[in-house]
Amino acid sequence: MTIDLSSTPTQLQQFQNLDFWRELNPGLSVLEDWRSDSSLSFEPEDLEERLEELRMEGYFHLDAILPEIDIFRMAIGIDTLVEQDLMPVFAFVYDEYWQTFQRISSLLSAILGVGYQQLPAFWAWFVPPSNAHAGWKPHRDRCISTLRPDGTTNLVTIWIPLTDATPLNGCMSLLPAHLDPNYPNNLNDCSIANPQDIRALTASAGSVLCWNHSVLHWGGRSSHKADFPRISMAFEFQRGDVLPYQASLLPPLTLPTWETRLRLISQQILQYKHMYPLSKDLASVATALSRIAG
């Protein structure tokens, strides 16, 4: 069930074929209105502590809070895509990858307020056990301040590992806000004065990592010593009571239509091309897919 990148019309036809994706990952659903048991609930005291961490350090980490069986199925789904030479971001044709973020709606409401919105900005990663592979280079999600006067944030990224993230397979690393002399007023500077301030964020599969868009962070380099790949996914969210930071915000508790998913995935491929090598053939396919699906 391979796709020939040399034939753009053939590939586009396959990408638009629901049966192709269902046969590729029969353990996942496409437009089947699959539902998790329920949204996760959080203790008020725990939420308060996490919000203070986000305000002071620019991030927080909730370890292994998502159901193991769901996380395992999604990891297998991305592994299958990679085996077929498909980019991991195509995982977002399936319902489960969207609904996982819906499960933490109460957490997002606590961070960003009721009425928060989903940005059309997401990605998925497969970092194999190899000295030649790494996550994305050090960066800030935005080099303009998105902080409010009280230190809270208008924007967050939610990053979820689908396999355990370790130093050997390229876990996330981050420079905490209170240790970053360039935060929050000199965000174009991504230098690190003291490497001892860096935190390697080891995380169990099903954890939730949240950071604001001013924090300096990156994916680590993998190693041939790693026992398994680092598979993960992320989505961006903003407050609903501020101007959109990106056009065409998405309602966070509604599953996108099939055409919208294809259009958004193709846009991500083109939007993040500065972060990874993008072949001319794949760029042509993504451009054509965006136009057809849009």
Model-level pTM?
A: 0.94
Most confident of 26-40, 209-223, 263-277: 209-223
Instruction: Please tell me the predicted confidence (pLDDT) of residue 244.
Output: 97
Q: What is the per-residue pLDDT across 175-216, written as a single tens digit (0 to 9) for each? A: 999 999 999 999 999 999 999 999 999 999 999 999 999 999
Cβ pair 198, 149 in contact under 8 A: no
CATH 2.60.120.620 fits 39-255, yes or no: yes
Instruction: Please tell me the predicted confidence (pLDDT) of residue 287.
Output: 86
What ranges do the domains of the chain cover? 39-255
Q: What is the per-residue pLDDT across 165-174, written as a single tens digit (0 to 9) for each? A: 999 999 999 9
Q: Cα 268–232–3 angle (5° rounding)?
A: 55
Whole-angstrom Cα distance, residue 284 to residue 290? Answer: 10
